[in-house]
Structure formats: structure tokens, C-alpha cells
Amino acid sequence: MGLLTLYSGLLLPWLGGAFWLAFIESQFSDNTQANRFRLTGYGFFLGYAVLFLAIMTSNELTGTVSWPGLMTFLLIFAISGGVAVWKTRSKLHAPPLDTKTPLSKPLRGLAAVILILTTVHLVFMTVEVFTQPLYPWDAWTVWAFRAKAWFLTGGITEMTGSAGWVSATATDVFSTTGWGYPLFPSIITYWAAASLGHWSETLINLPLLLAGLSIGMALYGQCRESGFNVSISLLCCYLLYSIPLFGTHIALAGYADLWMAGFAGLGFVALLRGSIIQDTTFKVNTQLLLGLLMIALGILAKNEGRIWFLAAMAMLIVNRFHLRILLLSFLVFTAVILLAFALGITTIQIPLIGTLGYSGGQFIIPFIGGVSIEVHDIWQPYLKNFFTLGNWNLLWVLVLACLMLSIQSRRHPLQRASLVFIGLFLATQLFIFGFTKQGLWAANFTSINRLPIHFIPALLFSAFLLLRSRFEQLPTEQLANKVQNNDV
């Protein structure tokens, strides 16, 4: 085993995910105009979710992880997906997305410059992944530790807390901080080592490099499908890779937040597109389904995925209903809660969802559990991390500028979806750090920076949508002014 088996083990699930996504989407559209970069980017994360489920199923059924058996499955997965796509290739030859005038020479030159700058960023990240041993941060003590323990013991062994480790009688029980975290990031690292045949402090991080590349490809493809030209789409990708924190999580790989940027971040991008699609050729809004699936799969990668999934459901509800209906529903919901408290009912059990209510001084939220409310002053940490330090480059300046422009503009189909997403993002961040014990992580500048990484692709995409909604209105407004002035 060596580099050939490593690359085979990492590329086969990617190919299978991309092929099957292309095939499934072709079945729900009479004239699919799916961008291949988008399919490839999203296909990576879907394929790796299939890989994770296959590994866990193999371990559950047989008590071991058979690399040859899993490779056989992945080979069938990729080949069958390729055959399915080939048989439906006529549906994939759609008219070009961009039917407008080709880019002028200056714009082509601009696109070339942006592509070169983006490539420079990617080259430096790639060099770091291949040369920088696993960096001694949380990835070293949690995510990769579990993978290394599993690889050295020859299987997925139990992880427990310190008390469980002390009382354990078996020799293959291990303990580490964060032992109860979701398994996905560690399983993928374990698979990379198993495919290589030995533990490497550098090559085990190759899946994170591929994940970073896939996020950029998916974002570019979504921009192209949304009508942006090549230059603007490449600019969006360049801004993604120029964000220092995002690049750090690729170059010094090992954290779970990059996986969340793929699952949750790209999931919200798909939800944004699904919220504004008015194309009658689609039998089913595949973007909405894809977005919900991606965000749901994020639960496998990090605990925050459950919160983001609830936020995604709230986003769909707000986008689908009129503001008056939402306000009326909120008032009715509030009245019901007050009445329930007056009658002494503080919790309710919702079938298939869980407990909702207030008990023992905590708010009980389905999929999340008990949450104690405590107020933290987080304005200084936010101001310093988002605007003073260089962690985020100019991302938050861009987001704020787009929000200001949208306030001054008239209603636009792109505007509501983007504003709802940004509003929900801000609400979740402020609630987590401003009104729960997680506010302690804001004071030391850790999670206050890591959690927004999950939303970077969607934040950039929504900012570009808001700019587009603003510029699309300019000709109409200018024409209206001319009519009023009797100029036409």
C-alpha cells in the first residue's frame, strides 16, 4: 500500500458522489443546466458521507473495517454512478448557462488575474498540507488522536471520558478530551491512514485539502448557475481563499470546522438558490432538497450541526410565508406559551422530535437539550475579531456594505432570501455567545471565530446576491426618473 491506494481511497468516493448527484438531479429536471463544478464540489461531500456510513456499517456488522471490502464497495459506487450518468448524458447536454455576450478582453484579463491569485493561495495551502506535520492544537488532541488510536489498534475502538477509562477492563478503550464529539472527521482521517498503509502526520490531512478545493468549486458553480459571469464567480472564490482563517483551516488541517463549511456552508448556499429559483422546468426544487440534506449531514461532523439544521428550517419557513402570516403566527405561538405557563404546563413532548419547554431553570430545545440563559458582553470581542484583527480580511466589511445597500433598495426576489439568511446567522451567533455559557468562548477569541467559518461560503454568496439585486434595479430606477422628468 502507498500513494496509489491513498489516492484511490480518497478519489473514489468523490467520483461516486459527483456521478450520483448528477444522475439524480437529471431525473428531476426536463432541461438540467447543472454546472459541473457545482456537481463536483457538492459530490465530494455527499460521497464522503457515503464513505463514512459505509465504514460505520462495516464496523457495526462485522466488528472490523475491511479496507479491501470497502474499496470494492467504493469502486462499485463510482462505476455504477458513472454508468448512470452516461446513460442519461442527453439530459446533461443543456444549452450554455451564459447566453449573453462573451466577456470582453478586459474582463477576460481580469478573470485571468483573479484565477492566478486564487491559484497562488491554493499552491501555498497545498505545500503546507504536504510538508507541515499535524499542528498541535485541538485537531492534534481530539480529531486526529482518535483516528491514530483506531489505526494503531486496527479498528474503531471505544472512546470514553476519563472516569470510564479508569474503570474500563479492556485494553483497547481510550480517553481524550471531546471524546463524545461526532465521529465523521476522525473516521475520514482514519480512512486516509488505512488507505496509505501507515500513519503519516502530513498525508492524513489530504481529505481536508480536497474538501477546501471542493468548497471553492461548488461556490463557483453556484455563482455560474445563478447568472454571474466567469470573472465575478472567480472573484467570489478568490475572496473565499483569501480569508486568513479559512486558509488556515486548510493549510493546518485537522479541525472539523472545514467539514462544516462544506456541509453547512454549501448547504445554505443551496437553500439560498432554492429559495429564489422560479424555473418551471424543475419538477422538484432539487436545490432545496440538496441544501437540507447537506445541512443535515453536518450533524455527523460537529454538534453545532443540529443548531444549523434548526436554523435552516426556520429560514425555509420565513422565506415561504408572508411577513404578516409570520407575525400572526408568532403572536399566536406566544399567546399559547403564556397560557400553558398559566396552566402549569412547562414542557411538551413532540413525537419524533423531542421535548420542548422550560424545566429546572433551563430551556429545553429539541435536538439540542437544556440551555441556561446567561448574559455576556460580547461586543468588544466581535469588534476586535471581525474588524480590528486580520482574521477575516474584509469579509465583514463586505457583508455590512451589502446590508446597507439592500436597505436603500426596493424589494427584489434575491433580497429577501439573502437578508433572511444573514439575519438568522447573526441571530444564532448572538444567541450562542451572548445569552448562553458559550459566551466564555468569545472572551478568549476561539469559538467566536470558528463557528462563523461554517457559514463563509453562504455569507459570500448572499453578499454577491445582494449586490446583484441592487445593480439590477439601477436601470429601472433611472428609467423611472427619466419618465418623471419627461426625458423620454
CA distance to 122, 244, 294, 444, 479, per residue, from 213 (Å)? 8, 15, 17, 30, 43
pTM assigned to the model = 0.89
Residue 247 placed within a domain: yes
Residues 254 and 384 in one domain: no
Residues 338 and 466 in one domain: yes
pLDDT at 480: 40
Residues 287 and 342 in one domain: no
Residue 269 placed within a domain: yes
Residue 102 placed within a domain: no
pLDDT at 92: 56
CA distance to 180, 250, 254, 327, per residue, from 134 (Å)? 21, 12, 7, 50
Residues 320 and 306 in one domain: no
Residues 79 and 137 in one domain: yes
Residue 103 placed within a domain: no
Of 291, 313, 335, the residue at which a domain comes to its end is 313
Residue 97 placed within a domain: no
Residue 469 placed within a domain: yes
pLDDT at 159: 81
Residue 259 placed within a domain: yes
Residues 80 and 52 in one domain: yes
Of 266, 296, 313, the residue at which a domain comes to its end is 313
Number of domains in the chain: 2
pLDDT at 472: 65
Residues 113 and 86 in one domain: yes
Residues 364 and 288 in one domain: no
pLDDT at 96: 47
Structural domain including 410 reads 314-484
Residues 319 and 410 in one domain: yes
Of 313, 341, 368, the residue at which a domain comes to its end is 313
Residue 101 placed within a domain: no
Residues 305 and 429 in one domain: no
Residues 436 and 451 in one domain: yes
Residues 71 and 218 in one domain: yes
Query: What is d(CA 170, CA 155) in angstroms, rounded to the nearest whole number?
Result: 14
Per-residue pLDDT of the chain (488 residues; tens, 9 = 90+): 789 999 999 999 999 999 999 999 888 865 456 889 999 999 999 999 999 999 999 999 988 899 999 999 999 999 999 999 998 876 554 444 444 557 788 888 999 999 999 999 999 999 999 998 888 777 888 888 899 989 998 888 888 877 777 777 776 777 777 778 899 999 999 999 999 999 999 999 999 999 999 999 999 999 999 889 999 999 999 999 999 999 999 998 888 999 999 999 999 999 999 888 754 445 578 899 999 999 999 999 999 999 999 999 999 888 877 767 777 777 877 787 778 777 777 777 777 677 777 777 777 877 677 777 888 888 899 999 999 988 999 899 999 998 888 776 556 667 888 888 999 999 999 989 988 888 887 878 888 899 999 999 999 999 999 888 777 655 444 434 443 343 33
